[in-house]
Amino acid sequence: MYSLEPQKCAELLNSSKSVVVLTGAGISTSAGIPDFRGPQGLYVTRKYDPEKVFNIEWFQREPKYFYEFTKDFTDCLKNIKPTFTHNYLIRLEQAGLLKGIITQNIDILHQAAGSKNVIELHGSYSSATCQTCKQQIKGLTYNWWCDKIASSNSSPVVICQKCGGYIKPDIVFFGEPVTAYEEAELLINKCDLLLVLGSSLNVTPASILPRLTSATTVIVNKGEVSLQASPQRYFINEDLDVYFSKVSEHLKWKL
């Protein structure tokens, strides 16, 4: 495995003209959001059944399973703040280095930090669609979800005011295609430096994206990563905020 000192990473950033970032759950764990696949994650603790929570057929049949999870998830996230790395990416964007972020996360923290060009492969809670009349609601916050769920009478399910159908956040469930994948491919194909941050690259089709470019790729993640080693790929097994705080020391003059 090829590693990369923070100063060398800064040098790569300084010499790049088109940086693209792919983020996974690891960028948000230090903000207090548990990794679904981590030691205390949803898929390990089984507090919620992922087969029912994020399955589109189950949602259409009985949405309460998803909304029981959403009640706890949104209540937790309404007070969560972006991490150092989220804010660091803003600085790269403002410096003209970062061309776009592709994220697997549904937590909207990139937008909360101020990132402009964000492709959400798995969607997010920032918009929702009625499953009956197809009315779309945009610009939603976690407080909105908390208020709507709290105001539900006998069940935490959010109902469309227009037709009485189920409101589903525009999150990609099992059984649904990811969003804007072609746009993500195009962004990856044009980059000269790819940063993969906080992703084990175990989930398709996001895991395919780093394989589509011959550009220098820097992967920073705590734990194993499902990506073959090659001379243009660097693997850093370190906390993201710790690593990029070191990198930032060598970029202050430019930012």
Q: Residue 253 pLDDT more than 80?
A: no
Report pLDDT digits (tens) over 198-246: 999 998 999 999 999 999 999 999 989 999 999 999 999 999 999 999 9
DSSP labels, 49-73: -HHHHTBHHHHHH-THHHHHHHHHH
Residues with a catalytic annotation lie at 122
Helix (H) or strand (E) holding 240: helix 240-248
CA distance 249 to 246: 5
State the CATH class of domain 1-33+82-122+179-255. alpha beta
* Whether the model pTM is above 0.85: yes
**Dihedral sign of CA atoms 176, 224, 66, 160 in order:** negative
Q: Where are the domains of the chain?
A: 1-33+82-122+179-255, 34-79+123-171
Residue 195: helix, strand or coil by DSSP?
A: strand
- Strands (DSSP E) found in 17-175: 19-23, 98-103, 118-120, 123-130, 136-137, 167-171
Domain 34-79+123-171, architecture per CATH = 2-Layer Sandwich (3.30)
Instruction: Give the residue, 30 or 24, on which the prediction is more confident.
Output: 24
